[in-house]
Amino acid sequence: MRILIVDDEQEIRNGIRHLLIGSALADRIEIVGTANDGREAMIVAGSGPVDLIITDIRMPGMDGLELIRHIRTANPSIAFIILSGYDDFSYAREAMRYGALDYLLKPVEERELLGIVERLIERTNKEKEPPLYLTRDEFRALRENGEWKAVALCGADELPEERVRELGGEPMLQWMLAKVHSEAARELGGIYLLTGDSAVPFRYSFGLAAGSEHELRNKLAEFAQRVHHFCRERVKVPVSFGLSEPVRQEVQSSEEMPIDLAFVRAQQALFSRVLLGSDIYRGEDIQEAKHHHASEKLEAALEIKDSDSIVEEIEALIERCVQEGSVSVLLLSLERLLFLVHHRWQVDLSSADGTSMSLMNRTLESLLWSSRPSSLRKGLMEWIQGALARLDPARQEGKVLARAKKYIQAHLQHPVNLTEVSQETLVTPQYLSKLFREKSGETFIEYITRLRIEEAKRLLAEPGVKVYEVASQVGYSNWKHFSRVFKQHTGYGPADYKNRIFVDRVGYQHEL
């Protein structure tokens, strides 16, 4: 029996945990985790199978009642035991209507809790199911045996932030995808699931199947079709699949396991969504590319570390691959680009942070999780900019700052903010803010405000410009706010400033 304990009081969580593992039921249960509210519980429940959730009814954030509603709607097999204070009876009663197994009043009676858990164990043992999630040892054993195996990788495609919020936030999306995969794998049988580690976002699932070569092709295809259809039609979350060819370990002493190659092929197949959109893709459909688009201009730009030219050439490379629509050409072009970066910069990079050829492989692997050309470009450029910054920090800081200032000047009439400019310059907002303070001697806000006031003064000096028009032309949507800021910096309101400029029509102007 796999148990999750949820309560916003750590003392209660620890108390229930010690009670269970110190009881006669210890060898029949596993505490898979604890959580201090419903949202955290959703994440834990989404990372692996759970049979029973013991939860408080009232917690900050997502409370126990909302947690029950979410989980029972998608997975009615999970049982709940409610912990309730005397004043929470109405909540507990509603939870029972949603299918909670029982409720206990705090402080919890040990014998009562253990009795409920024991009865639940006896009930579920009658309908025990094979495990869907592999432990590390189970995965290693399956990985090294002589059976045919195949890998399915599923990745959730990019979603607008509004849609993620509609679904209940990132934890809810993660939990939902995990449960859809679990149900499909359980129904088909013989498919084992692993989820992403800290290096890769959770929004993917690693499915592994073993059996005959023909059976594997059909089983993984059916698994992918079920999940893809359910996510698209029922949940309205687009997902893509990459399926490997079946592989088998022929030589046990081989250093590189076929399943590792199958994972790479599935990942390359999943990468097809960058060019072709959300769908199911097979590794065998990716033909070997005969050419790439890494040009001599790109090589020259890399040689002299010209970041502006590198940006232009990378954008051109991706655009040519998109127009050609060839996944294999895009893959080869990326491999060639990363090789060039490594080859041109390896001495400097090694001295900077000890990187080696593994840098190229790690970078390529992270880029293969992109789901759109825009996210591929962003990820690639962030890495390039980071590498350049390590090689020549002062020079790259100057280039980033110059690019930021150029963007601000070109968009001064818009409500430009730090996040927007940092995205354009491919650095974090915190880093860009630090650059402005340290290199310009003024903050980001001080810089943009100074530019706006200078531009406002120039416009107010123009005879044909109306005073009330100036605010919107320098990025202020609120006239009163603009007037207040303008006066703080010049000592005059906008109208007074304009009047003083033109007080002497024969050409005399006050010096301001």
Q: How confident is the model at residue 502 (pLDDT cuts 50, 70, 90)?
A: low
Signed CA dihedral, 397, 401, 403, 404: sign only: positive
Residues 17 and 4 sit within 8 Å (Cβ to Cβ)? no
Q: How far is it, in rounded angstroms, from Cα 318 to Cα 13?
A: 51
Q: How confident is the model at residue 391 (pLDDT cuts 50, 70, 90)?
A: low
* Those residues with Cβ within 8 angstroms of residue 203's Cβ, 6 or more apart along the chain or in another chain: 155, 156, 173, 174, 177, 196
Kindly tell me if the per-residue pLDDT of 130 is higher than 60. Answer: no
Lowest mean pLDDT among 106-120, 132-146, 240-254: 132-146
What is the C-alpha R_g of the chain?
30
Kindly tell me if the per-residue pLDDT of 194 is higher than 50. Answer: yes
Q: How confident is the model at residue 93 (pLDDT cuts 50, 70, 90)?
A: low
Lowest mean pLDDT among 1-5, 279-283, 354-358: 354-358
Count the neighbouring beta carbons within 10 Å of the beta carbon of residue 91. Answer: 18
Q: What percent of the chain has pLDDT over 70?
A: 79
Please list the residues that pair with 81 across neighbouring strands.
54, 102
Q: How confident is the model at residue 16 (pLDDT cuts 50, 70, 90)?
A: very high
Q: How far is it, in rounded angstroms, from Cα 328 to Cα 286?
A: 6
Kindly tell me if the per-residue pLDDT of 110 is higher than 80. Answer: yes
Q: How far is it, in rounded angstroms, from Cα 456 to Cα 452?
A: 6
Give the pLDDT confidence score for residue 352 in this predicted structure. 44
Average pLDDT, the chain: 78
Write the CA distances from 64 to 35, 88, 189, 215, integer angstroms. Answer: 11, 11, 32, 43
* Mean pLDDT, range 12-23, rounded to an integer: 93
Give the pLDDT confidence score for residue 195 in this predicted structure. 53
Give the pLDDT confidence score for residue 355 in this predicted structure. 45
- Tell me the pLDDT tens digit for each residue of 409-434: 988 888 888 888 887 776 778 878 88
Give the pLDDT confidence score for residue 25 in this predicted structure. 93
Kindly tell me if the per-residue pLDDT of 30 is higher than 80. Answer: yes
Lowest mean pLDDT among 91-95, 296-300, 408-412, 444-448: 91-95
Kindly tell me if the per-residue pLDDT of 348 is higher than 80. Answer: no
* The residue to which tokens 């100036």 are assigned: 470
**Closest to 217 measured CA to CA, from 140, 272, 168, 284:** 284
Give the pLDDT confidence score for residue 46 in this predicted structure. 79
Kindly tell me if the per-residue pLDDT of 453 is higher than 50. Answer: yes
Lowest mean pLDDT among 64-73, 309-318, 328-337, 349-358: 349-358
* Mean pLDDT, range 135-149, rounded to an integer: 69
Q: Select the more confidently predicted residue: 211 or 432.
A: 432
Give the pLDDT confidence score for residue 87 in this predicted structure. 57
Please list the residues that pair with 4 across neighbouring strands.
33, 53
- Tell me the pLDDT tens digit for each residue of 31-87: 999 999 988 998 888 777 888 999 988 888 888 888 888 887 767 778 899 888 765
